[in-house]
Structure 1
Amino acid sequence: MRFVPMNSVRKGAVIAKPLIDSNGSLLLKEGVILSDPIIQKIQDKGYKSIYVKDDYSQGDIEDVIKPEIRRKVTNKIKDTFEFFAKNQGRETQNSAQIYKNLDELYDMSKAIVDDLFNQKDIMISMVDIKSMDNYTYSHSVNVAVLSLVIGIAAQLTKNELYEITMGAMLHDIGKIFVPKEILNKPGKLTDEEFKIIQQHTVKGYEYISQNSSIKATTKIIALQHHLNMDGSGYPSGNKLSQIHKFSRIVSIADIYDALTSDRSYRKAFAPSEAIEYIMSLASSKLDIDYVKVFVKKIIPYPVGTIVMLSNGETAVVKKLNEGFPMRPVVELIINGKLTDEKIDLMEMNNQVIKEIVYEISG
């Protein structure tokens, strides 16, 4: 399977991962053969990219967590955010219902940590498919999983992993105070609109600070996840030494998932492009030590990805070389057809992957 922007999807391809709408209902199941009307329906629902199987890519890419768990956590985060949004009074902060939501969310995050804790070699090879109307909730799950994977590799303790995963799930809670027309605006934000967006960190922190059951680290993550190592970012006035290590990790995960997600105003970055961007921010805006950990956990060119080599040839990734994700084994595509001719880029020092290709000409 391969991840393809909708404007490059062609009829005859097969849906490789189910499409779930913002209510958790199945929109299209895996295995559906795409026709022009179905492609248009997917676009109308706000999807800009999907996973497909076609003549070039038949294998599967496994998610780090099971799809049913991802859906369950996404729905619980949605329930929690919506409850907070509808009940913004101080008196509801310690209500029985919010305790129930938070307890259930914590149990889910704890189960994910317990499941992944001993998988030291786990790698991220899949991006999550999001529709425009469930972005914030899906994004929160992804940031939690990415933060957990970084945290495991950085040798955080299990209790620390419980805390960072829960904190990452609630890092954007302040967005309940941002009007949806600003959050989902298809064009560039005005200066005034961007100032409103920036307020979500402080407002989220102040709001959940009223709740006695939410751990201090969760509150700190909500406040600090847009702070940069060079003192820039928001909210302003924080010193480097005051940025909690959890916030530094969540910041990396937040940027990566935002970049690899389709937005109303742009299509998703490829994983390789997002990695390059994050590496460019290391030491200036992001913690360089955690960036080094992070880039070792992301597969930039998953099996099934079609790429262009530096000599202009087109190929599909067939196998990964452990420890060297930038130099996989590829199979050449000539005149739109697979050739059975494989090249191990570990053995070809004069060849590198130049870019990802989504459309093949015959």
Structure 2
Amino acid sequence: MINFSDIFGDDKKRKGKGKDSHHIDFSSLDNEEESSLKDGAKIPADKNIKFSDPGTKLKRVSPREKKEIEDLYRKSVSLAERVFNSEKEIKTSEIDEIKKLSEILVGYSRNGSQELFEYIFGRLPYDVDFMILNLVNVCILAIEVGVGLGYSDHELINIGIGAFLHDIGMNKYRSLFSQPRGLTPQEKKKIQNHPLDGVNQLKFIHQLLEPLTLRIVEQEHERMDGSGYPYGLKADNIDEYAQIVGMVDVYEALTHKRSYRNSYSPMEAIKIILQDKTSFSPKILKAFLEKVGLYPKGTFVELNTKEIAQVINQTPKMPSCPVVGIVYDYEGKKVDTEKIIDLSKNTKIYITKSL
């Protein structure tokens, strides 16, 4: 049985009847459901509820700050497109841009701002290649986890750089990963060379990068139980920074659509990761859940009251009980007055599902 006491120790269980209460039994996913969530199988499409405009009054930021956050995400995507899609070697100036971006993202995370999550988990108003979004999103989330683990700014900046470049070696396999289907075993084996390809691409500018950055690129697909690649490293032989990026990379990929499958909800993604509990560090997973949560900021959930709510903030050590703001009432009507609920304090109301 997998539950949150395995991760958070002997913290008090939440008093509530919600199936998403603090002590969650992830083994409740039966074998049939488990098999349906693997191997790229399709899941039912999400409800037809659009993520709110960044201007919704549930946000605690000014119009100017909202514009800055949106611009930051767009510029990050633009930088990722230039770096990943270029047929030329990465420029020194581009490494400088990535470093500056990491510094800015560390500042946002240190200040507790998770407004960028709206763009990670929301529906963007423009089309971007999933691989490009993955580079940006993994960078943001990896820094968030690093903050949760107490890393220094210097470490966080370099984790951000490594996360932004983690799949740079995939650019030579575009014809494979862009296919409207899953990969064959032969194709998977071939594509597993991309971490080493990425390191080779960065070698000529290695003097501009910290060793840990190159280790992230080289080792982020390694797994604690030795099932990863390219070397099959185990446990402590895998750099902790690479372990962070590796877990976040899997989560980000699961929560975003691919040509051959729908996206999984954040909760479904965590269930899948926990089913494969020997692959990832409990320490890193704990930090992830405390910082990002089961229901990340900006995502939508349905409550047992039949109301639709948007997640506003996380509750430390109680990832299933965030602070939410009601968006639609039980009849599906958009609410006009702000209604905020801290689910960690209101035991009669709980989340029934992610949307």
Q: Could you tell me the TM-score, scaled by structure 1's length?
A: 0.69
Q: What's the offset of the Cα at 1:176?
A: 1.4
1:205 deviation in Å?
1.7
Tell me whether 1:245 sits opposite 2:240 in the alignment.
yes
Look up the match of 2:183.
189
1:235 paired with 2:227, answer: no
Q: Tell me the equivalent position of 2:75.
A: 72
Q: C-alpha separation between the residues in 2 aligned to 1:152 and 1:342?
A: 27
Whether 2:108 is the aligned partner of 1:110: answer no
| Mapping 1:1-362, distance limit 5 Å | 8-9=47-48, 16=53, 59-60=58-59, 66-83=69-86, 86-87=87-88, 98-113=91-106, 115-116=107-108, 118-119=110-111, 125-126=117-118, 128=120, 129=123, 133-178=128-173, 180-213=174-207, 214-282=209-277, 284-299=278-293, 300=295, 302=297, 305-307=300-302, 309=304, 314-317=306-309, 322-323=315-316, 324-327=318-321, 333-337=329-333, 345-346=343-344, 352-357=350-355
| Separation of aligned partners in 1, 2:188 and 2:341 | 47
Contact 1:279 1:291 in 2 (8 A): no
Per chain length, whose mean CA-contact separation is higher, i.e. which structure has more relative contact order (CA < 8 Å, sep 6+)? 2
Q: Secondary structure at the match of 2:205?
A: coil
CA contact (8 A) 2:148 2:290 kept: no
Q: Which moved more, 1:164-173 or 1:335-344?
A: 335-344
The amino acid across from 2:291 in the alignment is K
Q: Distance in 1 between matches of 2:109 and 2:299?
A: 28
1:199/1:126 CA distance change after superposition, 3 Å = same
Report how far residue 278 of structure 1 moved: 2.9
The answer to which of 101-110 and 151-160 deviates more is 101-110
8 Å contact from structure 1 (residues 308, 356) kept in 2? no
Question: 1:335, CA displacement in angstroms?
Answer: 4.4
1:61–1:303 CA contact under 8 A, matched in 2: no
Q: Distance in 1 between matches of 2:128 and 2:333?
A: 38
Q: Deviations over 1:213-236 (max 9, x none)?
A: 333222111111111000111113
Alpha-carbon distance change, 14 to 208 in structure 1, aligned in 2, over 3 angstroms: closer
Aligned length: 297
Alpha carbons of structure 1 residues 70 and 347: separation in structure 2 relative to 1, 3 Å: closer
| TM-superposed deviation, 1:320 | 5.7
Give the TM-score of the pair, scaled to structure 2. Answer: 0.71
RMSD of aligned alpha carbons: 3.6
Superimposed CA distance per residue, residues 164-211 of structure 1 (whole angstroms, 9 cap, x where no aligned partner):
111111000101120x23112221211111112211112112332233
DSSP 3-state at the match of 1:355: strand
The Cα shift of 1:119 comes to: 2.1
Query: 1:247 deviation in Å?
Result: 0.2
Preserved CA contact (<8 Å) 1:306 1:356: yes
Runs of 4+ in 1 over 6 A off after TM superposition: 338-344
SS in 2 for 1:126: helix
Distance 1:222 1:16, change over 3 A: same
Contact 1:301-1:325 at 8 Å conserved across structures: no
Closer, same or farther: CA 326–123 of 1 in aligned 2, 3 Å: farther
Q: Distance between the aligned counterparts of 1:314 and 1:98, measured in 2?
A: 52
> What does the per-residue CA deviation read over 1:121-153, in whole Å, with 9 as the maximum and x for residues that have no partner?
858753524677522222111111111111111
C-alpha displacement at 1:256, in angstroms?
Answer: 1.6
Question: Contact 2:45–2:262 (CA<8 Å) still a contact in 1?
Answer: no
Q: Which moved more, 1:346-355 or 1:233-242?
A: 346-355
Unpaired runs of 5+ in structure 1?
Answer: 18-29, 31-52, 88-92, 358-362
Q: CA deviation at 1:7?
A: 7.3
Partner of 2:18: none
Residues 80 and 304 from structure 1, CA distance in 2 versus in 1: closer, same or farther, beyond 3 angstroms?
closer
Query: More strand per residue: 1 or 2?
Result: 1
Q: Could you tell me which amino acid in structure 2 is paired with residue 223 of structure 1?
A: E
State the alpha-carbon separation in 1 of the partners of residues 340 and 153 from structure 2.
Answer: 42
Residues 121 and 293 from structure 1, CA distance in 2 versus in 1: closer, same or farther, beyond 3 angstroms? farther
For structure 2, the residue ranges without an aligned partner over 5 or more in a row are 1-43
The letter for the 2-side match of 1:111 is: I
